[in-house]
A and B are shown apart, each in its own frame.
Chain A
């Protein structure tokens, strides 16, 4: 399929002639690359012969970010687990234990209350 080209008018260059002229310039340009660019193109073409040392990884940062995230999650999880397993404050535990032992002693010895209500206890207090 060809594209539409305007018919040439008198004194006006036709589309075909114009295209042909620019194409000729383009061909000259492609054949007139500097030795430096020609050498670089040849060098890059030769580089295509080299086997890739390993498959190209397009997004290495994603793997690194994933590894860091997993490590962070593991550290936080281990820390929280260790915190949960620790015993409570020792002072508070001791106080609770003493009170419990005192109540238990009173519960187990009702004679103490009987003695406190007796005359012996009143005499002892008056002396």
Chain B
């Protein structure tokens, strides 16, 4: 645990563990450097000018009627404008390059994970593998992740800083997010949107394993643990913070799309009552 913290959590966005977060760090640092080129001289000039023209400085040349200069006006408008044109270009290109819904180039086929935020836990469904995990996201390193993100209750934001882009989890909607872990490791994941009393506990470890280890994990998950059927899902809809991460050996088919299409009721909330809104799917 301590080791994972030391290895995994220092300077999260600045110590990227995947191509998306690496590209985003690049943009972040580039933008800062470009802006510092104008911000630092401005700060120095402000302090310098104020100090030089202090009342007691005999050497300062006073120009009490210097109130307009076309040349200076042109410069004061063009410097920020040029910087913003430059940064705007970066913003335009990078928004398209790093669109969260854009697949990552890779020889390996992406691993599908369906992410469901609940009160107050994360459910990760592996639709092709037929298993699910609560509060622990296990992925193979070096393989793109194709995440579908939704919420079965209030809003949350899915965020693993070392892997990159965050995305809102919202009821009735499924967002698409591609991420990848370059190398094995444990990365801190969290919710970045207040979701009630248990919000601070909505963090999870993202375990990036080697392909072999991942296959072993899938096999062992399939062989043990409860099944995620409707009664089990009904349990998850209650507000609670699970003490430990755990897994489901099987998942009812179509669960994620039933959540997104609102064929299942949303989280019960603090009263614990089943919402009275056309729950078609849950018998």
Indicate whether A and B interact.
no
